[in-house]
Structure 1
Amino acid sequence: MPRIVVDVMPKPEILDPQGKAILGALNRLGQTGFSEVRQGKRFELVVDGEVTQDILDQARHAATTLLSNPVIEDVTRVEVITEATIGAGE
């Protein structure tokens, strides 16, 4: 079954305390090659049947009205993925 993936990230100007905590943990574990971490959200919407333009439009609408808070978050991706894509690690 196809899936529509929606990725949501905090806007760049919004502080990300979870990302800062993860960065601190990475540094404590000796993983010092990273200068910043931003933590976001990923949603997978499973579609019964074919992904039509109408279904994709519904997913985009849901992404901006329900799955994200447009005041502090940006929707960074709304994309159809297939089983082949999932198996390949996207």
Structure 2
Amino acid sequence: MKKVKVYVTLRESVLDPQGSAVMGALHSMNYTEVSDVRIGKFLELQIEEADRDLDIIVKEMCEKLLTNTVIEDYRYEVEEVASK
């Protein structure tokens, strides 16, 4: 079994109003050293062994459902899960 960690963020060219609001709040709390905040999503998937290539499966899931590829970028990491 594999654990896949998917990180989804808005593309750099896309305005992130939620990130701007968080940065403003941090500055108002005197965390002025923060120069930018980008808000994203984190998904953790457990995937059983399959006949198809895992990279192809994950990319298909990300591009068809998990992300909006027009405005979001994604990256992922695969970890082996120890069987119990």
User: Normalising to structure 1: TM-score of the pair?
Assistant: 0.76
The structure with more radius of gyration = 2
1:45 is displaced (CA, Å) by 0.5
Match of 2:44 in 1: 44
Superimposed CA distance per residue, residues 49-77 of structure 1 (whole angstroms, 9 cap, x where no aligned partner): x58862332112111221100111111x1
User: Normalising to structure 2: TM-score of the pair?
Assistant: 0.81
Question: Counting strand residues as a fraction of each chain, which structure ranks higher?
Answer: 2
1:81 is displaced (CA, Å) by 2.9
Number of aligned residues: 82
Misfit runs of 4+, over 4 Å = 50-53
Question: Counting helix residues as a fraction of each chain, which structure ranks higher?
Answer: 1
Superimposed CA distance per residue, residues 10-39 of structure 1 (whole angstroms, 9 cap, x where no aligned partner): 111111000001101111111111111010
Gaps of 5+ in 2: none
Identical positions, percent: 40
